[in-house]
Homo-oligomer: A and B are copies of this chain.
Amino acid sequence: MKTSTLQDVARVAKVSTATVSRTLSNPNVVSESTRRRVSEAVKITGYRINRAARNLRTQRAHSVLVLLPDLANPFFSAILEGISRNLSQQGYSMLIASTKQVHDSGERLIDYLDDARADGMIILDGGLDADIVEMLETAPQANRILFACEWIDGANFPSVRCQNRQGTRTAVNHLYDLGHRKIAHVTGPEGNVLMHSRKDAFVDEVEHLKLEQRPEWIIDGDFSLAAGCQAALKWVGLHDRPTAVFCASDQLAMGFIAELSRRGFKVPDDVSVMGFDDIDLAEHFIPPLTTIQQDRLMIGETAAKMLMARIVTPNEANSDQAAVLPVSLVVRESTASLR
């Protein structure tokens, strides 16, 4: 059983294919009576538009590619939900791939745009190699690329991000207000823009509050649980231990706490620990995690909206290059007043 085409509908409604097409995509230019006849015929034939045909004719893929560094990261799920929600409202589909996989398979990212598979892309990975970034920047479709959460320093792609500096400042001040004066920071991965953004803000704020600073109180990490565990060991090994630790991600914080608890330390009794992101698990962790909340659904929706605007009106000089979304402090039980 073949699905029916515009031709079939036209035949049944006794009009031309042009009229059927118009009825479907621009109903107000056809008369009331034919509109009814066509609708009737559509129902009778069970007509469904063939997107491949439309895509070819309109030179639009009607889909957007979302690139993650890694599909297995729970941080992204809510962002995807937001993107998908907004796209499907506009009749667009969401393609997903991971940068690693695309790279491994020998494809080039820009191919997705070049071969009409996607009309635009949202990249959630700020860690692309310099040559890939170069290629994206110089591509003719560069204006249909947008970064979310992370971005590329130096490149001027539009982006959606949260207030990383402000969030960090809020976190440090929360700890300060609890009486902590010796505060450590577990960073993200070297070279990551979020890592730098948060680390710089941390250093600035600690300086601003005139707190003691020591190089060994900045502990290298990479956003992962495992790195959090590593960091905990470093903390345990310090002579003069900070009384509070601000981790650059929730996963770091969880790993940190998990490892400490394995070593017999208690959070927040022995040390206050904060994360960043507010992933789903944060509130159910033991202890529930004090953290900086990012509205990931909104990040996704905003990213989709901005990208779609650029796809629909490509040459308009969209001035809003970067949307910076607010963050908020969520106080739970992993932080406490200094005894």
A32-40, A49-57, A154-162, A182-190 - the one binding chain B: A49-57
The reply on A71 being an interface residue by CB < 8 A is yes
The reply on A209 being an interface residue by CB < 8 A is no
Looking at the assembled complex, report how far the CB atom of A67 sits from the nearest CB atom of chain B, in whole angstroms.
12
The reply on A212 being an interface residue by CB < 8 A is no
The reply on A84 being an interface residue by CB < 8 A is yes
Which A246-298 residues have C-beta < 8 A from chain B? 254-255, 257-258, 261-262, 280-281, 284-286
A14–B73 CA distance with the chains assembled, in angstroms:
50
The reply on A149 being an interface residue by CB < 8 A is no
Which A17-62 residues have C-beta < 8 A from chain B? 48-53, 55-56, 59, 61
Q: Is the CB of B117 within 8 A of A88?
A: no
A96-104, A198-206, A301-309 - the one binding chain B: A96-104
Dominant secondary structure at the A interface:
helix
Tallying the copies of this chain within the complex gives 2
A95–B96 CA distance with the chains assembled, in angstroms:
6
Q: Is the CB of A71 within 8 A of B63?
A: no
| A and B contact pairs by CB, cutoff 8 A, 10 listed | A51-B115, A51-B116, A52-B59, A55-B55, A56-B56, A71-B77, A71-B84, A84-B101, A89-B105, A94-B95
**A interface with B by C-beta (< 8 Å):** 1, 3, 48-53, 55-56, 59, 61, 63, 71-74, 77-78, 80-81, 84-85, 88-89, 93-98, 101-102, 105, 107, 111, 114-117, 140, 225-226, 229, 254-255, 257-258, 261-262, 280-281, 284-286
Report the 5 A-B pairs with minimum CB-CB distance, sorted nearest first: A52-B55, A74-B74, A48-B114, A72-B77, A52-B56
